[in-house]
Amino acid sequence: MTFSIHGLAVARGIAIGRVVLVASSRVDVAHYFIQPEQVSSEIKRLAFARDAVVKEVQGIQQNMPKDAPAELAAMLDVHLMLLEDELLSDGIKHWIGERLYNAEWALTSQLEVVARQFDEMLDPYLRERKADLEQVVERILRHMKGLPNALPVERSPRPGSSRQQDLLLEDSVDVPLVLVAHDLSPADMLQFKQSVFAGFVTDVGGKTSHTAIVARSLDIPAVVGARGASHWVKQDDWVIIDGDQGVMIVDPSAFILAEYGFKQRQASLERERLSRLRHTPAVSLDGQKVELLANIELPEDTVSAITVGAVGVGLFRSEFLFMGRDGKLPDEEQQFQAYLKAVQGMKGLPVTIRTVDIGADKPLDKPSERGPKEENYLNPALGLRAIRWSLADPEMFLTQLRAILRAAAHGQVHLLIPMLAHAKEIKQTLQLIEQARRELDQRALVHGPVKLGAMIEIPAAALSLPLFLKHFDFLSIGTNDLIQYTLAIDRADESVAHLYDPLHPAVLGLISNTIKAAHDMGKGVSVCGEMAGDPSLTKLLLGMGLRSFSMHPTQILTVKQEILRTDIGKLKNWVHEVMMSEHPATIVNG
Ligand code: PEP
Ligand code: MG
């Protein structure tokens, strides 16, 4: 039966495909595709972990004190039985062998399938065995991650039997796959960058959560905040993801499929048409030049930046180099190579490297050995994040600064600092940059000049601009956070997404003042938050005086088209009206 689930539209387009459900687990699970020749070693890796857990459980059984509750022994029996169950192992082989999922992903995918079968059982005792199954899977995952396995003792099961059923799904390797998950971390999304998915849907997340931002950079349709999506769909269900409307349609009828197939073809024609603007300079109807820069997460993204004609990188979110590394920070050489690759990839055009913005919704996979403790930097948006994190771990910060300064000897590099608010943070940052240069001199390593920029993304910064303009060469307005902190709403929380308003008069006031203050001082200013890539806001930002926009490469051509159609000289009264209005959205969207 066809039904639809609504969420927030984050990346445009239509995807039609079958569902790959990513199970949520209390243990972080890596999701990636393996090569066909790795299938048997991946199956062995899992078998090895399972055998080790069997031994572990048997060991616990043997060493159990005489007065241990009988339920505990029974529970361990159930766990052993589940560990040996073909239901689990055969399914896993399918996910690895046919879908080429890595072992952990295969395990959680099969858990999802079997858990649903347990949910549907009539016998309440058997239904309750789902929790045992989850514990067993968690033990295996923890073993694979090298984490200690605590013995869960809170349950009191009766012994029972499990059933055998063929859960193997029919082969669907050539069909487009769409990913449905409760939540995905930005690090997960990064892994999916190399993957084959045609679209994404998550239960949670806001429009400018970092997960959504990475989804947008992949240029595939995505919907976040689609509550219950991962609950209502099953592995291999057919779905349509409408990234324009923020809807997922499950089990579509032939009529609906035909309709969306048509929309899909229209969208690809539109893309083709836009691609002709690649080499057209971004100049408004009245001849004003506009700079269109790219936001990137990895050095390889420079390829798409160049392809769409970006005139530089306005934001390299360097924290993505720090993710998916099991908590081990990249050393100076690894970072230098990555920055150098980005600089070379841009072929002489400027590259703005932002120092790490870890924390809030971009945690490291594991606390780093030296840095702040997990409970500190996993604090959400108001916690130890970005420059606060860097200043709390000067050794890490200096390593990054040295790597960036070394890359600056090979091309135009701008150094951008996130989340500054205090004069003392500015002072410490400038001192550490000088120290990094001295350390490179001591090691006789070449380093180059950088333009120094500050992100304006905390209202306090936007309200003390002279301080920033005194110390920095340019400003970059991070509207994603500026909106979050001005309106006091978590950008990653879909339950307050309706309050996330780029057109709130307070937000518009801060942006407009920042642009004006920078221009008055003859300094550069750009917007690198998601507002820069939203074509419905291009005219307004141009009218406020903005001439430098940084966005995902996928948005550059659409925004360029808007610029080519705009006569900026005629916008003055309209912008004034918008800024004075209590409801700017009705004028901008009207
Ligand atoms: C912003 O806050 O607008 C920004 C560009 O930085 P990030 O989205 O990475 O926080
Ligand atoms: Mg930010």
Residue 275: other Cβ atoms inside 10 A: 12
Does one domain contain both 209 and 356?
no
Alpha-carbon gap, residue 469 to 23, rounded angstroms? 48
Residue 431: other Cβ atoms inside 10 A: 11
Beta carbon of 480 within 6 Å of any ligand 1 atom? yes
Alpha-carbon gap, residue 103 to 94, rounded angstroms? 11
Does one domain contain both 219 and 89?
no
Ligand 1 atom 4 nearest Cα: 478
| Secondary structure letter of residue 362 according to DSSP | B
Q: Residue 465: pLDDT above 90?
A: yes
Active-site residue flag, 528: yes
Does one domain contain both 398 and 341?
yes
Does one domain contain both 331 and 402?
yes
Task: Give the ligand 1 atom nearest the CA of 484.
Answer: 2
Residue 26: other Cβ atoms inside 10 A: 11
Does one domain contain both 310 and 244?
no
Which residue reads 């009218």 in tokens? 543
Task: Identify whether 311 is part of a domain.
Answer: yes
Beta carbon of 134 within 6 Å of any ligand 1 atom? no
Does one domain contain both 108 and 247?
no
Does one domain contain both 256 and 348?
no
Does one domain contain both 245 and 385?
no
Does one domain contain both 483 and 549?
yes
Residue 491 Cα to ligand 1 middle (Å) = 10
Does one domain contain both 259 and 290?
no
Residue in 321, 480, 484 to alter for ligand 1 test, most ligand atoms within 8 A of Cβ = 480
Boundary (domain end) residue, out of 273, 302, 329: 273
pLDDT band at residue 20 using 50, 70 and 90 as cut-offs: confident
Q: Residue 152: pLDDT above 70?
A: no
Residue in 301, 356, 481 to alter for ligand 1 test, most ligand atoms within 8 A of Cβ = 481
Task: Identify whether 279 is part of a domain.
Answer: no
Residue type, 260: Y
Domain count, the chain: 3
Which residue reads 């870890």 in tokens? 358
Does one domain contain both 454 and 557?
yes
Catalytic residue among 79, 94, 210, 414: 210
* Higher-pLDDT residue of 124, 548: 548
Task: Identify whether 149 is part of a domain.
Answer: no
In sign, the C-alpha dihedral spanning 237, 11, 95, 22 is negative
pLDDT at residue 492, as a whole number = 85
CA angle 38, 39, 41 (to 5 degrees): 65
For 219-250, write each residue's pLDDT tens digit.
889 999 999 898 889 888 999 999 999 999 99
Task: Identify whether 292 is part of a domain.
Answer: yes
Active-site residue flag, 210: yes
Residue 444 Cα to ligand 2 middle (Å) = 35
Most confident of 193-202, 261-270, 479-488: 479-488
Residue 478 Cα to ligand 2 middle (Å) = 5
Structural domain range at position 198: 3-23+163-273
Task: Give bridge partners of residue 8 from the DSSP assignment.
Answer: 224
Task: Give the ligand 1 atom nearest the CA of 476.
Answer: 5
Rounded to the nearest integer, the mean pLDDT of the chain is 86
CATH number at residue 251: 3.50.30.10
The pLDDT > 70 percentage for the chain reads 88
Q: Residue 173: pLDDT above 50?
A: no
Residue 126 Cα to ligand 2 middle (Å) = 48
Task: Identify whether 537 is part of a domain.
Answer: yes
CATH number at residue 85: 1.10.274.10
From the CA of 354, the nearest ligand is 1
Boundary (domain end) residue, out of 229, 247, 273: 273
Boundary (domain end) residue, out of 112, 143, 174: 143
Task: Give bridge partners of residue 416 from the DSSP assignment.
Answer: 354, 453
Task: Identify whether 152 is part of a domain.
Answer: no
Does one domain contain both 292 and 254?
no
Beta carbon of 528 within 6 Å of any ligand 1 atom? yes
Q: Which two tokens stand for residue 566?
A: 């705009």
